[in-house]
A and B are shown apart, each in its own frame.
Chain A
Amino acid sequence: MNGNAFSFSQLGTLIRGSAVYRSIVRHGTAETNRNRSLVIFENLFLHVHPVKVREKTLKFSHTYWLGGITVSALVVLIATGILLMFYYHPSVPQAYRDMKELKFVVDNGVFYRNLHRWAAHLMVLGALLHMGRVFYHRAYRPPRQFNWVIGVVLLLVTLLLSYTGYLLPWDQLAFWGVSVGTNMAKEAPILGPPLRFLMLGGNIVSENALLRFYVLHCVLLPAALFGFLGVHIWRVRKDGGVQGPPEPPADDEVEP
């Protein structure tokens, strides 16, 4: 065992020392604060974070990790969604047939579909709870006003994503769920009926609607979501990190 561990660490050193590895990761092991900083700002994806954060914001009760949970659900959705797209045809009745094939024949098909479905619910729920948390923590106050508005937009986009995805299995649940929803939209004065026609590509939920919902679900809405989400997270950093609960006057505060 010892010999193995030794050779593993040797192997690690060997890899880290190789020219290829050095060309990809340009800093040493994260044992010094300098290298830890480099981990963050040498990385495209991590550099939405500052190099240092306030220690208290790491506490669970500070944010309940609701934003993190929502984004985690989103990552799961993207991963499983791409896998599902390999098997899905947005046509009638093949769409429904594909659900059956996922369930009956495709390896792990049920698992991916279940994950996608439940992650979607979690994302909607997480976004709602996140918004409630931000409200009660009064984290919408200046300078974060506009980020709150972006958050509202994100919530709407999330709901639309979930709703457009709801139609795709083309089962009774999907068809009538969407029929009920789009019939509500019809009631809006002036804009309602043409908007509904535009959404459905017709006057009823049909194969056209399926195709449109598919494009919205897989292309347009995710693109919008990524755009707004990028701005949302970037502004969190620019506004000084996550805002926890408003603090009561502490002992160490003084009136000047």
Chain B
Amino acid sequence: MPLRRIFAITSILFLAVLAVSPLKNALRPYRGFQRAFARLGAARAKSLQAAKTYQQQPVAIRQIWLPDFENRVDRCTTCHLGVQDASMAGAPEPFRLHPATYHTPKDSGRFGCTACHGGQGLATLEKDAHGDVADAESPMVPLKFIESGCGRCHSSEQVAGAATLSLGRATLERNGCYACHTVKGHEAFRSEAPPIEAVSLKTGAEALRRWLKDPKAVDANATMPRFQLSPSEVEELSNYVFSLTPGRTLADRVQAAAAEPTGDVAKGKALFAESRCISCHTLEGKGNGSAPELSKVASRASAGWLLAFIRDPHAFNSRTRMPQFNFSADDARHVVAYMESEFKDFDAPKEILDPLHVNQTLAEKGKVLFRQKGCFACHAPGVEVDRFGPALDGIGDKRAASLDFGKRTDIARTLPAWLEAKIKAPGSFQDGLKMPTFALSPKEAQAAVTALLSLGARPVPQPYRSAPTVRASLLPGGAVGALMDKYRCLSCHQIGDRGGDISTAPLTAEGSKVKRDWLVNYLVLSFTIRPILTDRMPVFRMSKDEAAQLAQAFETFYLDPRIPEDPYAGQPATSRDPVEGKRLYDTLGCRACHILGAGGGYYGPPLTEAGTRLKPGWTYAWLKGPQKWRADVRCPNYGLADADALRLTSYLDTLVKSSTASKAKRGGTR
């Protein structure tokens, strides 16, 4: 072919290929989206003026710039044009209005999009933006883990409105994850697993073997995970456990308790019910489930140990959540007699609680295993300065490229997928991994992954941080601290961001809420406060002195500055008008939920003795906006004026306990 013709062809091709890129540029998808949005907006617009506004929007890249939030630039709104547009409710994606949450859609300008959703804010193409590319810092967070975004700023254990995140944080704590993994804020975590030396007092060789093989199979509430142990390893560990010598005093106590005469089963049954054991334990699956299942406990623990333990749980395990019940010597025997008669595994071999004859060689091997498998992290904490597993701080920002997927070629190469697989089946990545299997429910696993994803590599900037208002450091020391420890208040109640979720009454502002005399009586003998709830605080048989000491401490420490001590101060005298308050009580329809005197609803707490129980400051503060104090409460916010709220308060404050009324309300119902 003549040279000139080749030259002609290459020249044309040359110009053609150089024209492709500008052409592609002119046809970028977002331009089409913006035109479609303008049409959609105009079609949905209520007025001609509004339609015109849609049509006049220029086609351009839109962005939310957050200079004080890591200099974020989120261009998501270039395509997601309707996130803040109320007329786009139910519109097709990408134009739909953002679902309503605490912060959306109103706070989009403050938080942008990627703070919660992840992905690449800078990108203007779907694939790039949603992060399905190698250069994305993080791909978008799957929606089922979206509450991890809340956790980036809200560092407290419980986050209102983020149920999955809160459950996840509780799951991490409850399963002892922090015993092996360092996480900021949980450095002081100590597992409540029993010290290993005293186990031989409690259980037998066969029971221990079964437990080691799979704790969850023995007790569905077990928090101890399943380690991948071979039968020989189980044997070695059992030998090690039985080779240890428990403390002299404990051994003596168990021995002495075993020698005591048996109690009365019928009395024990009544005591068991009255003590509300299933507030924490379960009985054949019924109950709270935060403490061991009791239906077969007598085949796991010897009678002597049970008796000695119930009398003084903290001597056996200083970290247990079980409170001191102050049973009389006889009562404790009755309870154990009842447990021994009913709570047995009747299929188990007779010798299940027989001790093991220790083989020293196996015990030595077991000792090595105890270290290798990381058992010490929970059962002998404090020995090691460093945690057994890798730190989890920042794991929520780890890039998928730096994760070892090993054998798991079946899952997506993303961080959430990796975490989910790791939590569900830790050993599936490769052989010889040390992390045990926790057997979490799918919901717990989802929640735990959400909580882990909320552990960012960098703290969010100060203005975005939301710290809990009351920190756990508010726990008192001294005699009161010892008392709160004895009765394990934090096992059920929350104080600040710490404590269990069994009780619905946090103690954070208890001193501002209830009157001291009432509290003393309540601590001595508790009763159900809301008739609709069957659960109540167990009766601890606290002495009057102890109760008074606690009540005084609560009134001193657990105050909320937002609750006035005297709500009437500085208000006109007319506001203190119980008669007008009574009228308000009737007109507002409070009786629909509250019992007062002879009639009323069962949903809320009875108000017959409101003046005995509640401080007027609290009543007033509550009436001004119940949701401010508990997000999920049903009590309506009537938007009362100060004077009206005070009148109602003063009326409720007049409702005091008559000496005869108290008897009927006492005690619990099952």
Contact = CB atoms under 8 A, between A and B. Distances in A.
A and B touch in the complex (CB under 8 A): yes
Interface of A: 97, 99-101, 103-105, 107-108, 110-111, 171-172
B401 interface: yes
Contact of B125 (A101, A104, A108): A104
A105 B25 contact: no
B22 A107 contact: yes
A37 B128 CA distance: 55
Interface string B528-555: 0000000000000000000000000000
Given A100-B122, A100-B123, A105 B61 contact: yes
Nearest to A115: B21
Contact of A104 (B22, B123, B401): B123
The 4 closest A-B pairs by CB, nearest first: A111-B21, A108-B21, A100-B122, A104-B124
B572 to A, nearest CB: 61
Nearest to A110: B21
Interface string B125-145: 100100000010000000000
Contact of B128 (A104, A107, A171): A104
Contacts of B22: 107-108
B59 to A, nearest CB: 14
Given A108-B25, A172-B401, 20 more contacts: A97-B122, A99-B135, A100-B122, A100-B123, A100-B135, A101-B122, A103-B123, A104-B75, A104-B122, A104-B123, A104-B124, A104-B125, A104-B128, A105-B61, A105-B122, A105-B124, A107-B22, A107-B25, A111-B21, A171-B135
B contact face: mostly helix, strand, loop, or mixed: loop
Nearest to B20: A111
A103 B120 CA distance: 12
Interface in B92-147: 120, 122-125, 128, 135
A118 B143 CA distance: 38
B126 to A, nearest CB: 12
Given A108-B22, A172-B401, A103 B128 contact: yes
Contacts, number: 27
A111 B120 CA distance: 20
Interface of B: 21-22, 25, 61, 75, 120, 122-125, 128, 135, 401
Contacts of B122: 97, 100-101, 104-105
20 contacts: A97-B122, A99-B135, A100-B120, A100-B122, A100-B123, A103-B123, A103-B128, A104-B75, A104-B122, A104-B123, A104-B125, A105-B61, A105-B122, A107-B25, A108-B21, A108-B22, A108-B25, A110-B21, A111-B21, A171-B135
Contacts of A171: 135
Contacts of A97: 122
A62 to B, nearest CB: 16
Contacts of A103: 123, 128
Contacts of A108: 21-22, 25
Nearest to A100: B122
Contacts of B75: 104
A110 B25 CA distance: 10
Contacts of A101: 122
Nearest to A169: B135
A171 B21 CA distance: 25
Contacts of B401: 172
A105 to B, nearest CB: 6
Nearest to A97: B122
A172 B61 CA distance: 28
Contacts of A110: 21
Nearest to A114: B21
A194 to B, nearest CB: 33
Contacts of A105: 61, 122, 124
A61 to B, nearest CB: 17
Nearest to B128: A104
B518 to A, nearest CB: 60
A107 B120 CA distance: 19
A172 B401 CA distance: 10
A100 B128 CA distance: 10
A69 B135 CA distance: 31
A100 B125 CA distance: 12
B16 to A, nearest CB: 14
Nearest to B399: A172
A97 B73 CA distance: 11
A99 B128 CA distance: 13
Contacts of A107: 22, 25
Nearest to B120: A100
B577 to A, nearest CB: 65
A101 B401 CA distance: 23
A159 B406 CA distance: 36
Contacts of B124: 104-105
A104 B21 CA distance: 14
Nearest to B75: A104
Contacts of A100: 120, 122-123, 135
A97 B121 CA distance: 12
A100 B21 CA distance: 17
A99 B22 CA distance: 19
A96 to B, nearest CB: 9
A177 to B, nearest CB: 14
Contacts of B120: 100
B121 to A, nearest CB: 10
Contacts of B128: 103-104
A6 B13 CA distance: 26
A99 B401 CA distance: 20
Contacts of A111: 21
B384 to A, nearest CB: 32
A111 B25 CA distance: 10
Contacts of B25: 107-108
Query: Which of B22, B122, B125 has the most chain A CB within a 10 Å cutoff?
Result: B122
A42 B120 CA distance: 55
A57 B47 CA distance: 77
Nearest to A103: B128
Contacts of A172: 401
A89 to B, nearest CB: 14
Contacts of B125: 104
B17 to A, nearest CB: 10
Contacts of B123: 100, 103-104
B80 to A, nearest CB: 15
A85 to B, nearest CB: 19
A99 B124 CA distance: 14
